[in-house]
Chains A and B, each alone.
Chain A
Amino acid sequence: MRRLRCILVASFVLIVVIPMSYFAVRYSRRPTFLLPEQVVAEYRAEAALLVLAPGWEWPVSPLAPVPDGTSIMYEEGWGKNQADFYWFCSWASRTVDLQLPADARQQALENVLSLQSKYFFTNGLSADSKAFYVRMLRNAADGDMDELRGYYELNCRQDT
């Protein structure tokens, strides 16, 4: 009787448990492919949590026309990244704008410094790129805006 039970358990492991584990591991590593409309929904949900700097408005869609006309799938999180990035650009633009009063620039800086709590920084950014942002934000907090200004000019200008 005990031998029969052992055979049944071993068979169950071989036929059910091992194949299920294999496919669970294999397919859990597969990325999530989002359609453009799903990306837009993701972007809008993230945007709803954020307040843009004065004078800025959310683009209806984060998707730019594709030059060669081919369509694109997106990894989950791309839409959130776009919303956070646009939000960051809006506040960075005011932080480095010397025409604004000091209190307006200070308010903008406080928003800029909160980037580290946003999805873009916590999930969307490659681990090796975080040091760049930490340094740039630390310098900005210390009053050195050179790197933030350069970053804004390089990465945000098409939004303005």
Chain B
Amino acid sequence: MRRIAPRAVAVAALSVGLSIGISGLAYAASYHAISGTVYSGCSDSGPWYVSSTARTKDGTGPIMAQFSEINDGGLTFKLVNKFNVLIGNQQSWEPNETDVWRTLSSSVPHGTVFYTAFRSSVYECPDDQDEYEFRGTLFY
């Protein structure tokens, strides 16, 4: 029987470890740029606005958000599932609360499909705000 060199065993073990590590990374949450525009119209509907971008949670854990630009009326932000049921808690950011991280849900199972929904914290009809757009980062 052929003897296996210790170095070969070490290389094989390292390869297996790397493979596990890489496949583990595939399930790890990460940071994603987001942007949007709060509803500012005057119909009977609103002010909540649901994005049509479906997202899928990678790895079980929290979903958090922060914003580098916030619309003039302040931003109220939440996550909903495909049945429009709230996931976690909605959170609000004042216009000057840029780069403030808030947790939208502390534990969301891996593979959960969700949408973002948002509104201007101050919603009037008609209003005269200048900026309705926001930008930020979502961790999921």
Contacts and interface: CB of A to CB of B under 8 A. Distances in A.
Interface in B1-52: 26, 30, 32, 36-37, 39, 41, 43-52
A74 B118 CA distance: 11
Interface size class for chain B? Answer: 20 to 34
B39 A129 contact: no
Contacts of A67: 85-86
Interface residues of A, number: 38
A63 B80 CA distance: 13
Contacts, number: 101
Interface string A29-70: 011010110000000000000000000000000011011001
Contacts of B109: 154
Contact of A120 (B43, B50, B54): B54
A98 B139 CA distance: 36
B52 A74 contact: yes
Given A72-B117, A135-B26, A158 B49 contact: no
B111 A128 contact: no
Given A30-B37, A72-B45, A73-B50, A129 B55 contact: yes
Interface stretch (A1-9, A16-24, A76-84, A102-110): A76-84
Contacts of A30: 37
Given A125-B56, A131-B26, A132-B58, 18 more contacts: A30-B37, A33-B41, A67-B85, A67-B86, A72-B45, A72-B50, A73-B46, A73-B47, A73-B48, A74-B49, A74-B50, A74-B52, A80-B52, A128-B30, A129-B58, A154-B109, A154-B111, A154-B112
8 contacts: A33-B46, A72-B48, A72-B49, A73-B47, A80-B52, A81-B52, A128-B58, A129-B56
